[in-house]
Amino acid sequence: MQPLMTLLAELSTIDAHLDELQEDLGDLPKEVKDCERTVKTRTALAEETQQLLSELLAFRANAHIMLQEIKDKEAQYTEQQFQVRNNREFDAITKEIESLREERNRIIEEQRTSAVKEDNIRQILTQQQQDLADAQELLSDKEKELDELSSGHNNEMKSLMSRRVELSKTIDALPLADYERIRTFHLEAAVPLRKNCCSGCFSAVPAQKIVEIRNNPNKLFLCEHCGRILFPEDMKQV
């Protein structure tokens, strides 16, 4: 049976290692989520721009037909104006003709500016598609990283956890409870002495206590300053 200090030291090493593994994964899952959100947003943006472009091209393709239709209607109204029976009818037709002319001017103006508009939209679209591709690349990198890390970590974590369970069974309930309690304050609950100091908080440990720690490997000694469990510097750690 190994002395208590050795067991606690190993437990502390295992916990530190588990913490580290957890920390490694730490931001990655969140980063993957963030990347997914970015890809989604950028996809929507590019789609919106693509839609604008399609509408613009459709307008350009149809503009001459719309203009011809307006011209035909205008001719029709002009003819009708000669056959009116009163002022009211004349005014009504005049209004129709005016609104047709407005519509025609609007279409002509839009036609005139559509080439510049198309250039702008295409430029924006190219940039948005590039941004999207960048985001997709980053996402797939992060996903890959997370996958690799998790699968490697899973095996390591499993073996550390099972060793921890084994170890917990060999440590008496009281010191184990002390250890767990200290771990709620300090991630490293058991630390070695270093140059006669607690290596957790770096405060000096009295020489008499160091001698006691060396001579009583089955007793629990706490740092008077930070409350961590102390074990000798040269003790063999697993």
**In sequence order, what are the residues at sequence separation of 6 or more whose Cβ sits closer than 8 angstroms to the Cβ of residue 118?**
53, 56, 57, 60
Minimum gap (Å) between residue 186 Cβ and Zn ion: 9
220: how many CB neighbours lie within 10 A of its CB?
Answer: 19
Pick the binder of Zn ion from 200, 205, 210, 221 (CB under 5 A). Answer: 200
The helix or strand, by DSSP H or E, that contains position 96, with its residue range, turns out to be helix 87-170
Q: Is 190 in the site for Zn ion (CB under 5 A)?
A: no
Pick the binder of Zn ion from 7, 11, 190, 223 (CB under 5 A). Answer: 223
Strand partners, 59: none
Phi, psi of 150 (to 5 degrees): -65, -45
Q: What is the dihedral of CA 59, 64, 68, 74, to 10 degrees?
A: 60
Which range touches Zn ion (CB under 5 A), out of 69-77, 107-115, 132-140, 218-226? 218-226
Which range touches Zn ion (CB under 5 A), out of 129-137, 164-172, 173-181, 195-203? 195-203
Return the number of the residue (132 or 190) whose C-beta is nearest Zn ion: 190
Pick the binder of Zn ion from 201, 214, 233, 235 (CB under 5 A). Answer: 201
Q: Is 225 in the site for Zn ion (CB under 5 A)?
A: yes
Return the number of the residue (175 or 200) whose C-beta is nearest Zn ion: 200
Minimum gap (Å) between residue 197 Cβ and Zn ion: 8
DSSP 196: T
Of 195, 222, 196, 192, nearest to 208 by C-alpha is: 196
Report the interface residues with Zn ion, using CB under 5 A. 198, 200-201, 223, 225-226
